[in-house]
Each structure stands twice: as C-alpha cells, then as structure tokens.
Amino acid sequence: MGEKSAAPLLELKDLKTYFKTDDGIVRAVDGVSYTVRAGESVGVVGESGSGKSVTQISILGLIPSPPGFNAGGEILFEGEDLLKKSKSELRKLRGNKISMIWQDPMTSLNPFLKVSRQLIEPLQTHQGLSKEEARAKAIKMLEKVGIPAAKERFDQYPHQFSGGMRQRVMIAMALLCEPKLLIADEPTTALDVTIQAQILELMKELREDTGAGMILITHDLGVVAGMADRIIVMYAGRVVEEAASKELFAAPSHPYTVGLLKSVPRLDRGRSERLIPIEGRPPDTSKDIPGCGFAPRCPWATDECTKEFPSRKKMSDDHYVHCYRAEEVYAAKLGTHASAKHVEKIEQGVRNGSTIDPATGDLNG
Amino acid sequence: MAEALLQIENLKMHFPVYKGALIRKEVNRVRAVDGLNFNIFKGETLGLVGESGCGKSTTGRSIIQLYRPTEGTVKFDGKDLTKLSKSELHPYRRDLQMIFQDPYASLNPRMTVGDIISEPLKVHNLATGGIQKRVQELMETTGLDPRFIRRYPHEFSGGQRQRIGIARALASEPKFIVCDEPISALDVSIQAQVINLMEDLQKDFGLTYLFIAHDLAAVRQISDRIAVMYLGKMVELADGEEMYAHPTHPYTQALISAVPIPDPEVEATRERIVLAGDVPSPLNPPTGCVFHTRCPFAYERCKKEVPEFQEAGPGHFVACHLVDEPERRKDAPNAPNDREKRAAIAAMNNAIKSGGLDKSEEE
Ligand SMILES: Nc1ncnc2c1ncn2[C@@H]1O[C@H](COP(=O)(O)OP(=O)(O)OP(=O)(O)O)[C@@H](O)[C@H]1O
Ligand SMILES: Nc1ncnc2c1ncn2[C@@H]1O[C@H](COP(=O)(O)OP(=O)(O)O)[C@@H](O)[C@H]1O
Ligand code: SF4
Ligand code: SF4
Ligand SMILES: [Mg+2]
Ligand SMILES: [Mg+2]
C-alpha cells in the first residue's frame, strides 16, 4: 500500500445531493461524511439506489442540474471545497488529479475516435507533453495494462477491442495523468470472473506503483474484501457503518451490514449454509423516512428507532456506526466467520424482544 | 438420485451466419453448443457455469426444445424430444419450463399478473373452472400478494417480477425447469430471497432444475452437481463439494481461484491463477482443446487432439489430456509453480477451516 499521510486527500462533510422529480424530492445522498487518505483504498458497498454513484458524481461535479442540486455540505479535496469551484476549474481536475473508471468503458471512450487520440490529447493539454512524448507515454501505459501488441493496436477504434481490453484502455486513460484520486464505479461488474481477476490484479499493482487514493464502488463484498483498506456501508442515501476492512468483516456492528454479509452465497461455504435474506426492500427516499431507514427490515428494531436517525457512534479506532443497538450487534459476533445458524438464532431472539449481553454476546433471558 | 430424468447425447446447436442481402449465403456458423454428453437426475439441481457467450443459455434452450438442436438427442422419460414434431412436443411443454434472466424483458408489459400466470394454464387446459383461484394460490406460493392479481409488471420491483416469472413457470406443474440466470439482474439483498424460494419450491414440488449462472458462488449454493462450460463444450462435471475440493480441469481451477471471497483474511492469503487473454470467438474456435490458447499447461497434443469428456473419478467427468498424462502438469513451462500453489491452497483452506465456520455454534 502507498504511504498514508494524516491529512485526508478527500473529505466529504454532510454532503447532500437531491433530485427534483414528479414524485417529490429524491434525497439520493442525504448527509454523507467520509474521508479518503492519500494512498488509501476505500470501498463503498450498499444496494442499488443507496446513493453510492450519486456521491461520486457529486465529487466530480457532474450531477445533471436540473433535476439535481446540492442541498448542503462540503467536498474538501486537498483542503479546497469542490462545491465552490467553477465549471472550468472542475473540468481541469477531472481526468487530471481525479480520474474515474466506470462500469461501462464506453462512458469514457468516444466510439468515433481512435484510442491513440483519446489517450494522447489529455496528456498534451494537462501535462503539456509534445505529441511524440505523449504517444510514447501512452503506448507504454497500454503495455503496462496488458494490451497485447499495444503499438499495433494503438490506432484502432474502441469497438475493435474486447470488453476486457476496453476496460484496460479505460484504466490506462485514467492513470495516464497520475491522478491523486481514482474513482472506480463497479469497474468489473460487467466482466467475466476470469477477466475480473485480471483487471483487479492490475488495478492493485498500478495503485501500489502510483500511490493514488481510490474509491471503489461495488456490490460484491468479495471484491472489497480483497481490494479495500477501509469500507463504507451506505443505506438509503446515508453512511450507516464504516470501518477498516478486516474489522468490518470480523465485527460488523450495523444490522444491515450483517444482512449483506449473510445474504450472499460464498464459494467457500456451499449448500450446507442456508442464506439469510434481508426481507423487504429499501425505502423510497422521496418519502419522509422517520428515524433509521432500515427499521422496517431490521430484526433488531425497537420503537426508539423510528423517532430519530441514530447519531454516529465510535466502536473502536476507525470504526463508526449509526445504530441504536450497535454495541449489542458488535458483541453478538455476527461477522464473516459466524455460521448462518448462529446469526439466525440471534436474529430470532432479538426479534422476539430479547437483548444481547454486551459482555458475553449471548442472548439475555 | 441416480435415475436420469434427461439424457443428453452429443448435443449440438450451431447458428448459421449469413452474408448478402438478396442471396443469403451461409458463410460461417457459430458453434454455440458443440457436442455435450450428460444426464440430469430426477430431483437434482444441476448448476451450469461458464463465461458469457460460452453456450449456457443455448444449452438450456435446446434441451427444452425452444431451439431445435442441430445434432444429438435429448431423452426425456425415455423419449427423444429432438425427433418430435411441434404438435407431438406440445404435451411435453407442460413438463419443461423456463425462468428467464431479465424479469423486465420477459414479462409482457400489457398483460396483468393474473393473465401472465394463467397463460400456461389456458394453453394446457389446466385448472378449468378455477383459474383465478389457482393463480392466487401460485402467487401465494411464490410470496406475492394475491390482491395484486390485476396489476401490471411495471408496478412490481425486480425481485417481485422474478417471482411472477417463477409463478408462471410453476403453473403447469412442470417436472423440469431451466433457470437461466434467475438472480443475475437482482440486487444482492434480493438474490437470497429468490434462491431460498427456489430451494423451497424444489422440495415442495419435487422439481428438477438446470440452474444457469455465471456466478460460481451462487451455483455452489443451490446445486447438487456442477457443470462447467467453455466455448460450447462441457469441460468438467462433478458433485458440488467434489468440484470445489478437487477441481481438475485447468479452466475450472482458474475459475474457482478467481471468485472473490468476502473475508479479507482469506483474500490476503489466496493465490489467483490469472488467465491470460480473452475467450476466443465461437465462430472460429481453436483446434484440439478449445482452452489451449489460455491454458497454462497446454502442450503439443492439446492443439491437435480434442480431449474426450471422460470419468476421472466416480461421477467426476473431465475433458483434458492431463487426465491420461498427469505428469505433463509438472513439465509445463508456463505452469504455476506447483509447490507454491499447493502451499497457497493449504493456507487458504486453513484460514477457512480456522475461521470459516464458527464451530462452537454448531454443537
Ligand atoms: N438524474 C436523477 N434524477 C432523479 N433521481 C436520480 C437521478 N440520479 C439518481 N437518482 C436517484 O438517486 C438515488 C441514488 O442513486 P445512485 O445512482 O447513487 O445509486 P447507487 O447506490 O449507485 O445504485 P447502483 O448500485 O444501482 O448503482 C436513487 O434513488 C436514484 O433513483
Ligand atoms: N439465436 C442466435 N443466433 C446466433 N447466435 C447465437 C444465438 N443465440 C446465441 N448465439 C451465440 O451463441 C453463443 C452462446 O450463446 P449463449 O448460449 O447465449 O451463451 P451464455 O448463455 O453462456 O452467455 C454466443 O456466441 C452467442 O452470440
Ligand atoms: S437503529 Fe434500530 S432499526 Fe436501525 S439498524 Fe439499528 S436497531 Fe435496526
Ligand atoms: S487438454 Fe491441454 S489445453 Fe486443454 S485443458 Fe487440458 S492441458 Fe489444457
Ligand atoms: Mg451506481
Ligand atoms: Mg445466457
């Protein structure tokens, strides 16, 4: 991992991004705070619609407006608030100090332009390289990301590359300007698993080389387990838990995080372990959500939960949770190592009104 | 278990590629499925995995005769379905159903849920008189609120739409269902709901499934046996536990090593077999073993000779020359260092054992 300095590279403070729609105001991102340190890899997980992408698009200043608008908060990048920057200042940052990798490479690549031109131009404008210098640097980067016969393929169009190779070209493009922050939104979701393994390996290597900080959005807990130093869990437009990767998997303290962990099939488990689904579905953020948005689906919910959104609790260094019963969830040891049986027993118990002894982690009474 | 519901022999499905607008001329063929031999046992779930385009959906569709195979036989209850005419096939359609990947595209947006689910009942003259009651029963069974019988698909969530598709497939009381990526389009938290529902239905109605997915972890979760496909061929078939413990085909080994596991400690000690390159085009598959362009162990014979799909252990089928010539695995110049790999696998297994299952809770 690259060196980590104390001052954060990126700091989101109570960020709110809303959309005006016919059904009312969608609070897509509703008070999100987290930091990314230099050289650090932060994973963001949560189900579809939880606001993972809108947060990133807000950082990039690319929220379509209308219908989208900023409803408060700050986005501090190297100490400066990006929300206060002009369009042209933001354009300069994008693809330079901040770059992105999307799920669909064609959102970054222009189908009508040769790959060579798309790689060379930003180097000329952002770094002031001559055409020859830019060309040499770009070809070297294509070789580095594993494009076979890079020199010969340099002047081809994107559609002449396979899906996995296009993803590589996009990664090359994102890294060419040596960004400080790399934002990757589901970079491997559209790829087959053996190609995903190639791309993840590559991203890991290149990040270690360049020391870039990274935000990695994915719905695949396995991918963050292998790639992220720290993990942010989002639910209904809010951060509900954040912790170092090991800690989050070993001692999840929000019932939703436990739910995510226990509802995904695992290759190392197989049939004997039944999945525990999260019942119901996420709330509509255009409606008023009283208190904790997870309450209607949460086995741990009590009357208190629907009154006010739970404040941020510190569980240990670098581990924060928004849940009234976080201490109990933590104590019950419901992490990646827990068996489905154990989790079912605990969830059944608390559903029936029992509490957890924070010292032993057992059900009371 | 061992009684076969379906016997598939030398199944081939080739799609012609035409050129020319006026005079259409066949210039090539996509060998989507190219000679499969396997059985599907009564009451089992057979998982079918492989990368996109390897022929999984085509296999499923040609088994239930949604596609009429180019070659080969599909015996169902002893009868070869490929030889039957459309009208002779009609009664069998009742027994052979399908659930589709995309719950958005596979439901007619202009039909109500009631119409969608009752369609197979009408086609096969079932539940005469009590259609509405039967539909409500099916909705109940699949976890849908029967009061929504007059609603349209767009009024439901992805998970609910998949339940509608399942209810429709169940309506004719089939014996066999091809489930083509039924959870791929669903959100993580909803996938488990659908997997559990499908497992319950199988138990309750004695169903046999061919469960198609590209997600190996999901396949392992639901399947008794697992088949792995690559470029139109079946390369390995074994019991789920056996496949995971002793993957034998080099492609299966790479596939298993590539699936991320949601445990940072396990991930940190895992050795990935990263395959070079992409899957070749099925228009022009490699000679000999179709995997030889990416296989770390490939040798001369692999380029010339198609490996036979043979039994390497009891019920464990593999199509690879290494089964006859195991010593080649060590000699291969590009092979990952075997000692290192074994050490990494041992470390992974230990990590899984020590932390994987909370033993104290099992008692
Ligand atoms: N342009 C828009 N207009 C209105 N609502 C929007 C718009 N873009 C996003 N939203 C809403 O904002 C919420 C958060 O969306 P976002 O794309 O961030 O989700 P996500 O967590 O990235 O989900 P996924 O996993 O599906 O990518 C959703 O409710 C979405 O419908
Ligand atoms: N109706 C069709 N006409 C022509 N080619 C097809 C057709 N259906 C599938 N194919 C081709 O056959 C191959 C296998 O496809 P498919 O069975 O859908 O793969 P999978 O389900 O494993 O992703 C692919 O190359 C695909 O493009
Ligand atoms: S605050 Fe209450 S409802 Fe929300 S997750 Fe915690 S226990 Fe569940
Ligand atoms: S037959 Fe040869 S190329 Fe094919 S999988 Fe076996 S070793 Fe590899
Ligand atoms: Mg998104
Ligand atoms: Mg398919």
Instruction: Round to whole Å and give the CA distance between A111 and B250.
Output: 36
How far apart are the CA of A316 and the nearest CA of chain B, in angstroms? 18
- Looking only at the bridges linking them, the beta strands covering B225-230 and B4-19 are unpaired
Select the residue from B186, B189, B203, B246 to test the A interface by mutation, using most A Cβ atoms within 10 A: B189
Q: What number of other Cβ atoms are within 10 A of residue A110's Cβ?
A: 12
Test the B interface: residue of A194, A224, A273, A298 with most B CBs within 10 Å: A194
Place of tokens 């070079």: B276
pTM of the model: 0.87
Task: Evaluate whether A241 touches A43 at the Cβ level (below 8 Å).
Answer: no
Q: Which domains does chain B possess?
A: 4-19+27-230 (3.40.50.300), 246-355 (no CATH)
Beginning with the edge strand found earlier in the chain, give each strand of the sheet holding B4-19 in spatial order.
B25-41, B4-19, B71-76, B79-80
What residue of A is the nearest CA neighbor of B294? A194
CA distance B343 to B349: 10
Q: pLDDT in tens for each of the 363 residues of chain B?
A: 579 999 999 999 999 888 777 777 777 888 999 999 999 999 999 999 998 889 999 999 999 999 999 999 999 988 999 999 999 999 999 999 999 887 778 899 999 999 999 999 999 988 777 899 999 999 999 988 899 999 999 888 788 898 999 999 999 999 999 999 998 878 887 889 889 999 999 999 999 999 999 889 999 999 999 999 999 999 999 999 999 999 999 999 999 999 999 999 999 988 888 887 778 888 889 999 999 999 999 999 999 999 999 999 999 999 999 999 988 887 655 444 444 444 444 444 444 444 433 333 333
- The two three-digit tokens of residue A183, written as one number: 């934002």
CA A243 – ligand 2 centroid, Å: 43
In the three-class reduction of DSSP (H, G, I as helix; E, B as strand; rest coil), residue A109 is classed as: coil
CA A335: distance to chain centroid? 20
Mutation test residue for ligand 2: of B11, B13, B15, the one with most atoms within 8 Å of CB: B15
Q: CB of B350 within 8 Å of any CB in chain A? A: no
Query: Which residues, numbered 267 to 326 in chain B, qualify as contacts with chain A under a Cβ-Cβ cut-off of 8 Å?
Result: 267-268, 270, 272, 274-275, 277-279
Q: What is residue A61's DSSP assignment?
A: T
Query: Shortest CA distance to B250 belongs to which of A116, A18, A162, A194?
Result: A194
Q: What is the pLDDT of residues B157-207, one digit of tens each?
A: 788 898 999 999 999 999 999 999 998 878 887 889 889 999 999 999 999
The residue nearest atom 10 of ligand 2, judged by CA position, is B32
Q: Could you give the ipTM of this predicted complex?
A: 0.85
Interface test with B, best of A191, A266, A342 (most B CBs within 10 A): A266
Q: Which of B255, B257, B260 is the closest to A223 by Cβ?
A: B260
> Are A241 and A257 within 8 A, CB to CB?
yes
- SS3 assignment for A326-348: HHHHHHCCCCCCCCHHHHHHHHH
Tell me the three state secondary structure of residue B140. helix
Residues A14 and A39 sit within 8 Å (Cβ to Cβ)? no
Residues 143-162 of B with CB under 8 A from A: 157, 159
Query: How many Å lie between the centroid of ligand 5 and the Cα of residue A238?
Result: 14
Atom index in ligand 2 nearest the CA of residue B232 equals 14
Ligand nearest to C-alpha A44: 1
Q: Which residues of B touch A339 (CB under 8 A)?
A: 357-358, 361-362
What number does the ligand 4 atom closest to the CA of B297 have?
7
Cα A83 off chain centre by = 20
**Within chain A, what is the greatest distance between any pair of CA atoms?**
75
Between chains, do B264 and A220 touch, taking CB under 8 Å as contact? Answer: no
Which tokens sit at B341?
Answer: 């790999």
* Calpha distance B313→A233 (Å, rounded): 45
pLDDT tens string A18-34: 999 888 899 999 999 99
